[in-house]
Amino acid sequence: MIQQISVIAFDADDTLWVNEPYFQETEDKFCSLLEDYLPKHSASQELFKTEMANLDLYGYGIKAYILSMLETVLRVTGNSVNPEILHKVIQYGQEMMNKPIELLDGVEEVLQALSGKYRLVVATKGDLRDQERKLRNSGLEKYFHHIEIMSDKKEKDYHKLLKNLGCSPDHFLMLGNSLKSDVIPVLAIGGHAIHIPYHITWEHERIDYNVEDPRFYKVDSIREILQHLNP
Ligand SMILES: [Mg+2]
Protein backbone atom coordinates (compact mmCIF):
# COMPACT_ATOMS: atom_id res chain seq x y z
CA MET A 1 0.00 0.00 0.00
CA ILE A 2 1.33 3.44 -0.93
CA GLN A 3 0.83 5.77 2.06
CA GLN A 4 0.22 9.50 2.31
CA ILE A 5 -0.58 10.17 -1.34
CA SER A 6 -2.62 13.30 -1.95
CA VAL A 7 -2.13 13.93 -5.69
CA ILE A 8 -2.34 11.23 -8.36
CA ALA A 9 -1.23 12.30 -11.82
CA PHE A 10 -2.17 10.29 -14.89
CA ASP A 11 -0.29 10.27 -18.15
CA ALA A 12 -2.83 10.48 -21.00
CA ASP A 13 -1.61 8.89 -24.25
CA ASP A 14 -1.61 5.08 -24.00
CA THR A 15 -2.50 5.34 -20.30
CA LEU A 16 -6.03 6.78 -20.48
CA TRP A 17 -6.62 6.31 -24.20
CA VAL A 18 -5.18 4.77 -27.37
CA ASN A 19 -2.49 6.87 -29.06
CA GLU A 20 0.65 5.11 -30.29
CA PRO A 21 -1.20 2.70 -32.61
CA TYR A 22 -2.49 5.75 -34.53
CA PHE A 23 1.05 7.01 -35.00
CA GLN A 24 2.21 3.57 -36.15
CA GLU A 25 -0.70 3.27 -38.56
CA THR A 26 0.17 6.68 -40.05
CA GLU A 27 3.84 5.80 -40.23
CA ASP A 28 2.98 2.69 -42.17
CA LYS A 29 0.96 4.69 -44.71
CA PHE A 30 3.74 7.28 -44.87
CA CYS A 31 6.36 4.62 -45.62
CA SER A 32 4.15 3.16 -48.36
CA LEU A 33 3.97 6.61 -49.99
CA LEU A 34 7.76 6.62 -50.30
CA GLU A 35 8.12 3.06 -51.58
CA ASP A 36 9.28 4.32 -55.02
CA TYR A 37 12.23 5.98 -53.31
CA LEU A 38 13.30 3.65 -50.51
CA PRO A 39 12.29 0.46 -48.68
CA LYS A 40 9.68 0.85 -45.96
CA HIS A 41 12.01 0.11 -43.03
CA SER A 42 14.48 2.75 -44.29
CA ALA A 43 11.69 5.32 -44.63
CA SER A 44 10.72 4.57 -41.04
CA GLN A 45 14.32 5.09 -39.87
CA GLU A 46 14.61 8.33 -41.83
CA LEU A 47 11.42 9.64 -40.27
CA PHE A 48 12.60 8.75 -36.76
CA LYS A 49 15.91 10.50 -37.45
CA THR A 50 14.07 13.67 -38.51
CA GLU A 51 11.77 13.53 -35.48
CA MET A 52 14.70 13.23 -33.09
CA ALA A 53 16.56 16.10 -34.77
CA ASN A 54 13.45 18.31 -34.45
CA LEU A 55 12.40 17.36 -30.94
CA ASP A 56 14.00 20.34 -29.19
CA LEU A 57 12.62 22.74 -31.78
CA TYR A 58 9.08 21.43 -32.20
CA GLY A 59 8.36 19.37 -29.09
CA TYR A 60 5.91 16.45 -29.10
CA GLY A 61 2.59 15.92 -30.83
CA ILE A 62 0.93 15.58 -34.21
CA LYS A 63 1.89 18.99 -35.63
CA ALA A 64 5.56 18.24 -35.03
CA TYR A 65 5.03 14.83 -36.58
CA ILE A 66 3.52 16.33 -39.76
CA LEU A 67 6.45 18.73 -40.14
CA SER A 68 8.91 15.88 -39.68
CA MET A 69 7.10 13.74 -42.25
CA LEU A 70 7.20 16.62 -44.79
CA GLU A 71 10.88 17.26 -44.14
CA THR A 72 11.66 13.55 -44.54
CA VAL A 73 9.81 13.40 -47.87
CA LEU A 74 11.78 16.38 -49.19
CA ARG A 75 15.10 14.93 -48.02
CA VAL A 76 14.68 11.39 -49.34
CA THR A 77 13.31 12.58 -52.70
CA GLY A 78 16.01 15.23 -53.11
CA ASN A 79 13.25 17.91 -53.17
CA SER A 80 11.84 16.43 -56.36
CA VAL A 81 8.62 15.15 -54.87
CA ASN A 82 5.21 15.16 -56.50
CA PRO A 83 3.15 17.73 -54.53
CA GLU A 84 0.40 15.12 -54.32
CA ILE A 85 2.59 13.25 -51.81
CA LEU A 86 2.98 16.36 -49.65
CA HIS A 87 -0.77 16.81 -49.78
CA LYS A 88 -1.28 13.21 -48.64
CA VAL A 89 1.09 13.70 -45.70
CA ILE A 90 -0.86 16.74 -44.50
CA GLN A 91 -4.08 14.77 -44.88
CA TYR A 92 -2.69 11.87 -42.80
CA GLY A 93 -1.82 14.31 -40.02
CA GLN A 94 -5.27 15.88 -40.05
CA GLU A 95 -6.87 12.46 -39.97
CA MET A 96 -4.90 11.68 -36.81
CA MET A 97 -6.20 14.87 -35.23
CA ASN A 98 -9.77 13.78 -35.93
CA LYS A 99 -9.51 10.25 -34.58
CA PRO A 100 -12.21 9.29 -32.09
CA ILE A 101 -11.09 8.80 -28.48
CA GLU A 102 -10.82 5.18 -27.49
CA LEU A 103 -10.56 4.84 -23.71
CA LEU A 104 -8.44 1.99 -22.41
CA ASP A 105 -10.11 -0.78 -20.47
CA GLY A 106 -10.80 0.00 -16.80
CA VAL A 107 -9.91 3.70 -16.99
CA GLU A 108 -13.29 5.18 -16.16
CA GLU A 109 -13.93 2.66 -13.38
CA VAL A 110 -10.59 3.50 -11.73
CA LEU A 111 -11.14 7.24 -11.98
CA GLN A 112 -14.56 6.83 -10.43
CA ALA A 113 -13.11 4.82 -7.54
CA LEU A 114 -10.37 7.38 -6.84
CA SER A 115 -12.40 10.51 -7.46
CA GLY A 116 -13.10 12.55 -4.34
CA LYS A 117 -10.46 10.62 -2.36
CA TYR A 118 -7.40 12.07 -4.06
CA ARG A 119 -6.68 15.13 -6.18
CA LEU A 120 -6.55 13.68 -9.68
CA VAL A 121 -4.46 15.39 -12.33
CA VAL A 122 -3.59 14.76 -15.99
CA ALA A 123 0.08 15.28 -16.83
CA THR A 124 0.72 14.83 -20.53
CA LYS A 125 3.02 15.90 -23.35
CA GLY A 126 1.76 16.74 -26.84
CA ASP A 127 0.06 19.61 -28.65
CA LEU A 128 -2.03 21.88 -26.46
CA ARG A 129 -5.08 21.99 -28.73
CA ASP A 130 -4.93 18.30 -29.58
CA GLN A 131 -4.71 17.19 -25.96
CA GLU A 132 -7.53 19.58 -25.01
CA ARG A 133 -9.67 18.09 -27.78
CA LYS A 134 -8.93 14.55 -26.63
CA LEU A 135 -9.80 15.36 -23.01
CA ARG A 136 -13.03 17.07 -24.00
CA ASN A 137 -14.06 14.14 -26.20
CA SER A 138 -12.98 11.54 -23.65
CA GLY A 139 -15.71 12.53 -21.19
CA LEU A 140 -13.10 12.23 -18.43
CA GLU A 141 -12.61 15.94 -17.70
CA LYS A 142 -15.01 15.84 -14.76
CA TYR A 143 -12.69 13.56 -12.77
CA PHE A 144 -9.70 15.90 -12.85
CA HIS A 145 -8.80 18.86 -10.67
CA HIS A 146 -6.09 20.02 -12.99
CA ILE A 147 -4.79 19.35 -16.50
CA GLU A 148 -1.12 19.97 -17.18
CA ILE A 149 0.04 19.85 -20.80
CA MET A 150 3.79 19.71 -20.45
CA SER A 151 6.42 20.54 -23.06
CA ASP A 152 8.51 17.71 -21.65
CA LYS A 153 8.56 15.26 -18.75
CA LYS A 154 11.99 15.70 -17.26
CA GLU A 155 12.80 16.27 -13.59
CA LYS A 156 12.58 20.06 -13.92
CA ASP A 157 9.14 19.79 -15.53
CA TYR A 158 7.85 17.66 -12.64
CA HIS A 159 9.35 20.11 -10.12
CA LYS A 160 7.38 22.86 -11.80
CA LEU A 161 4.17 20.80 -11.81
CA LEU A 162 4.48 19.97 -8.10
CA LYS A 163 5.19 23.60 -7.27
CA ASN A 164 2.03 24.66 -9.15
CA LEU A 165 0.04 22.00 -7.33
CA GLY A 166 1.55 22.87 -3.94
CA CYS A 167 2.38 19.21 -3.44
CA SER A 168 5.57 17.72 -2.04
CA PRO A 169 7.12 14.78 -3.93
CA ASP A 170 6.42 12.24 -1.16
CA HIS A 171 2.68 12.96 -1.51
CA PHE A 172 2.76 12.66 -5.30
CA LEU A 173 2.07 9.56 -7.38
CA MET A 174 2.50 9.45 -11.16
CA LEU A 175 0.97 6.72 -13.34
CA GLY A 176 1.87 6.05 -16.92
CA ASN A 177 2.97 3.75 -19.69
CA SER A 178 6.44 5.23 -20.19
CA LEU A 179 9.25 4.34 -17.79
CA LYS A 180 11.35 7.07 -19.32
CA SER A 181 8.80 9.91 -19.01
CA ASP A 182 6.33 8.86 -16.33
CA VAL A 183 8.47 6.90 -13.89
CA ILE A 184 12.21 7.62 -13.82
CA PRO A 185 12.10 11.45 -13.47
CA VAL A 186 9.36 11.20 -10.82
CA LEU A 187 11.37 8.73 -8.72
CA ALA A 188 14.42 10.95 -9.16
CA ILE A 189 12.69 13.91 -7.51
CA GLY A 190 11.39 11.78 -4.62
CA GLY A 191 7.89 10.97 -5.88
CA HIS A 192 6.09 7.63 -6.24
CA ALA A 193 5.42 6.04 -9.63
CA ILE A 194 3.42 3.15 -11.06
CA HIS A 195 4.23 1.77 -14.49
CA ILE A 196 1.26 0.51 -16.50
CA PRO A 197 2.80 -0.93 -19.68
CA TYR A 198 1.02 -0.58 -23.00
CA HIS A 199 1.59 -3.16 -25.73
CA ILE A 200 3.25 -0.67 -28.09
CA THR A 201 5.89 1.85 -27.03
CA TRP A 202 7.32 4.60 -29.22
CA GLU A 203 11.01 3.97 -29.90
CA HIS A 204 11.95 7.26 -28.23
CA GLU A 205 10.30 6.20 -24.95
CA ARG A 206 11.95 2.78 -24.74
CA ILE A 207 14.62 2.03 -22.15
CA ASP A 208 16.44 -1.22 -21.67
CA TYR A 209 17.13 -1.46 -17.98
CA ASN A 210 15.13 -2.46 -14.90
CA VAL A 211 13.86 0.13 -12.50
CA GLU A 212 14.33 -0.72 -8.85
CA ASP A 213 13.13 1.68 -6.21
CA PRO A 214 11.05 1.33 -3.04
CA ARG A 215 8.70 4.00 -4.44
CA PHE A 216 8.21 2.16 -7.74
CA TYR A 217 5.41 -0.28 -8.58
CA LYS A 218 4.50 -2.11 -11.73
CA VAL A 219 1.04 -3.34 -12.62
CA ASP A 220 -0.34 -5.21 -15.63
CA SER A 221 -3.48 -3.13 -16.00
CA ILE A 222 -4.86 0.14 -14.68
CA ARG A 223 -7.40 -1.67 -12.46
CA GLU A 224 -4.56 -3.12 -10.40
CA ILE A 225 -3.49 0.32 -9.15
CA LEU A 226 -6.45 0.22 -6.75
CA GLN A 227 -4.68 -2.56 -4.84
CA HIS A 228 -1.83 -0.14 -4.08
CA LEU A 229 -4.08 2.69 -3.00
CA ASN A 230 -6.73 3.27 -0.39
CA PRO A 231 -9.86 4.33 -2.25
MG1 LIG B 1 1.91 7.79 -22.56
Task: Say whether both 11 and 115 belong to one domain.
Answer: yes
- Å from CA of 201 to ligand 1 middle: 8
Among the candidates 97, 131, 147, a domain finishes at: 97
Residue 2 domain-assigned?
no
- If you compute the radius of gyration of the chain from its CA atoms, what whole number of angstroms results? 19
- Å from CA of 17 to ligand 1 middle: 9
Among the candidates 66, 97, 128, a domain finishes at: 97
Mean pLDDT of 11-36: 96
- Å from CA of 80 to ligand 1 middle: 36
Task: Say whether both 27 and 119 belong to one domain.
Answer: no
* C-alpha span between 70 and 48 (Å, rounded): 12
- Å from CA of 82 to ligand 1 middle: 35
180 three-state secondary structure: helix
Q: What is the CATH number of the domain that holds 205?
A: 3.40.50.1000
Please write the tens of the pLDDT for every residue from 70-97. 999 999 999 999 999 999 999 999 999 9
- Å from CA of 19 to ligand 1 middle: 8
* C-alpha span between 5 and 170 (Å, rounded): 7
Please write the tens of the pLDDT for every residue from 135-169. 999 999 999 999 999 999 999 999 999 999 999 99
- Those residues whose C-beta lies under 8 Å from the C-beta of residue 81, and which sit 6 or more positions away, are 73, 74
- Å from CA of 55 to ligand 1 middle: 16
123 three-state secondary structure: strand
Written as one string, the DSSP assignment of 86-103 is HHHHHHHHHHHHTPPP-B
Please write the tens of the pLDDT for every residue from 192-215. 999 999 988 888 878 877 899 999
Does this model's pTM top 0.95? no
- Å from CA of 204 to ligand 1 middle: 12
* Residue 84 structural domain: 20-97
Please write the tens of the pLDDT for every residue from 173-193. 999 999 999 999 999 999 999
